[in-house]
Amino acid sequence: MTKRRTLLKSVLAASIAAASFGAANFATAEELAAIQERGVIRIAMSGAYPPFNFVNDENQVVGFDPAIGAEIARRMGLEVEIITTAWDGIIGGLLANKYDAIVGSMSITDERDEVVDFVGPYYTTKRAIFAKPGNGFTSATQLADARVGLTLGETHEGWARELGYNVRTYKGLPELLLELENGRVDVIVNDNIAAILAMQSTGQEFIMITDLETEEFGAGIAIREGSPLLAAEMQAALDAMMADGTYLEIANEWVGGDIR
């Protein structure tokens, strides 16, 4: 087992234990019927990951993720309830039955797939490193001397810690961008699409370090294990909206193009 896998498993285990304290057990039975009877599917996200999910001036959670989640719910004949929660405990909250699914730009990894089931992916992205122009950081080879900002609980954190970087963790992307702008971190590591769009929307100047070798990965919808009917219904709704153009309309509105 790799050091990265051991670290992520430890983070997941701590998150799960904390979120489930006092609960008798986790749900293990098929959940689709219960959700249909309730008429509402509860979906979780951080609310701190613009433009994918964030809280607007009217205190509403908006963005690509809630729009995708709401459309899936509509096609299943359900209402949607959006719940925001800290990212580092979001899987634990799912397993403790605080919500039914995570629609929050969660990367599909082998480690997470051992704990939850995934629907999707519903978009793809890459890990990227960003610096402020003129601060002297232009290459991934310089990261050993950098203060590296990351969101607590993301897969990027495990990657950076495995490599021995000087890691500083924050609650979400807006805080990361502020720390970079104010010089309290030298670089930030984030999914490329979200960071680029967020900085473009605010006019924040940045450079993307281009010599980082990384693969694309998919973002999926996490649900508790043991509910194949729920997974199938959600996947069917997602597939249908991709086929009929609705997905592209949502993507164009929030992220400016097709990111499948």
| 178/121 Cα distance (integer angstroms) | 30
Peptide linkage before 51 cis (omega within 30 of 0): yes
The residues near 121 (Cβ < 8 Å, ≥ 6 apart) are 108, 218, 219, 220
**230 in Cβ contact with 42 (< 8 Å):** no
| 211/127 Cα distance (integer angstroms) | 12
pLDDT value, residue 29: 67
The domain 3-124+217-255: what is its CATH number?
A: 3.40.190.10
Given the candidates 3.90.650.10, 3.40.190.10, 3.30.565.10, 2.30.110.10, the CATH classification of the domain at 126-209 is 3.40.190.10
Going residue by residue through the chain (260 aa), what tens digit of pLDDT does each one get?
Answer: 343 444 444 444 444 444 443 333 444 468 999 999 999 999 999 999 999 999 999 999 999 999 999 999 999 999 999 999 999 999 999 999 999 999 999 999 999 999 999 999 999 999 999 999 999 999 999 999 999 999 999 999 999 999 999 999 999 999 999 999 999 999 999 999 999 999 999 999 999 999 998 888 999 999 999 999 999 999 999 999 999 999 999 999 999 999 99
Q: What is the pTM of this model?
A: 0.83
Between helix 3-19 and helix 155-162 the angle, nearest 10°, is 140
pLDDT value, residue 4: 40
pLDDT value, residue 215: 81
| 208/24 Cα distance (integer angstroms) | 47
CATH 3.40.190.10 boundaries in the chain: 3-124+217-255, 126-209
pLDDT value, residue 16: 44
Distances in Å between the alpha carbon of 10 and those of 3, 7, 14, 85, 100? 11, 5, 6, 20, 23
